[in-house]
Amino acid sequence: MASETKTEVAVSSKPAAAQGEAPVSPSTQMTQAIEDMERLFGRLMPRNWMAPGNWHWPLWGPFAAESMENLRVPHMDVIDRDKDILIRAEVPGVDRKDLEVSLSNGTLSVRGRIAREAHEQRKDYFRCEISQSDFSRSLSLPPSVDSEKVAAHLKDGVLEITLPKQEQLQRRAVEVK
């Protein structure tokens, strides 16, 4: 059952100046009306209700989780270590054959495809949903990466890419005197 909110507005037939108040200009009245409408719409639909991360609106129901999965760009951690750079990317549900890792002109690109098929069959109906989506994420890399020795491994939905640094550019400690 929906709750109702009633807003009462005092209406007077006397002009504002006759009531002892300063007259309100038409532009101020219009601004106030616009602000009231924005507050009303803000309660009905928050400003960022269409942003993929904010699909908590009840009308989306069971579709929100599936839509989020299809629009998702993998999160990546970049870890600069002494002898290499380690990149970890979350790619749950992606098969090894559906991943492509490439390195070109100092840019690392990770591309993949997520494909799902759901079947449900009961006595009186059959439901089949097929969804697929592609994703891509690129990162600029420092020139110190040795592109000939890059290695990538996928395990438990986490893609790890190891980018060795060139010998002459590896990090070293400098003694402070």
DSSP string of 134-156, one letter each residue: EEEEEEE--TTB-GGG-EEEEET
List the structure tokens of 82: 């002494």
pLDDT in tens, 63-111: 444 444 444 678 899 998 888 999 999 988 888 999 999 988 888 999 9
| Domains along the chain with CATH numbers | 26-71 (no CATH), 74-169 (2.60.40.790)
| 147 Cβ contact partners less than 8 Å away, ≥ 6 residues apart | 103, 163
Among 11-25, 63-77, 149-163, where is mean pLDDT lowest? 11-25
- Please tell me which residue, 173 or 109, carries the higher pLDDT value: 109
Separation of alpha carbons 1 and 131, rounded Å:
35
Sheet holding 151-155, edge to edge: 76-80, 84-90, 158-164, 151-155
Q: Is the pLDDT of residue 121 over 80?
A: yes
Q: Is 89 exposed, middle or buried (0-12, 13-18, 19+ CB in 10 A)?
A: buried
pLDDT in tens, 42-62: 776 655 555 555 444 444 444
Which H/E stretch holds residue 26?
A: helix 26-44
